Amino acid sequence: MSTSFIEYRGHGFWSWDGYLEHALALLAQSIGNSPEEDWLVSLGDRRREQSSGGFRGSINPRFDELVTNDERQKRVVSLLDGILVRPGLTCEAQKTAQFLHALLRGQLTTVASSPLDYMVSGPQPYNWSLE
């Protein structure tokens, strides 16, 4: 069970990669295939790539590189808002998306060395789909 630390502006959270891959795939799906802004293209491509399962233990959404101003931050938070109200979303993906949402809004104060009492857990194996 691999985990990755997702960081933005000096704070972050640890997540089991399977839950993170699911949440990032939903984010990529929300961005779509041909957004107008180049940074969103990069964000979507990166999410699709890292939700493929080939980055165990080293998922890095590159939020600090791509979500560089308040306008972009609000845009990604808005996309996450849409994910959080999706019907049929697994509890694990919803909680992980909530962590992403809080991170991007500056509401998390945890760092890599913080106690892991917040970790999302659920039954294994975790099988997900975008449908």
Q: What is the pLDDT of residues 73-121, one digit of tens each?
A: 999 999 999 999 999 999 999 999 999 999 999 999 999 999 999 999 9
* Size (the chain), residues: 131
Compute the distance between CA of residue 72 and CA of residue 10 in angstroms, rounded to an integer: 17
Compute the distance between CA of residue 79 and CA of residue 74 in angstroms, rounded to an integer: 9
The reported pLDDT for the residue numbered 76 is 94
Does pLDDT of 49 surpass 80? no
How distant, in Å, are the alpha carbons of 10, 39, 54, 59, 94 from that of 84?
A: 24, 22, 25, 21, 6
What's the pTM value of the predicted model, to 2 decimals? Answer: 0.86
Strands (E) across 1-131 are located at: 3-8, 11-16
Q: 126, 92 in Cβ contact below 8 A?
A: yes
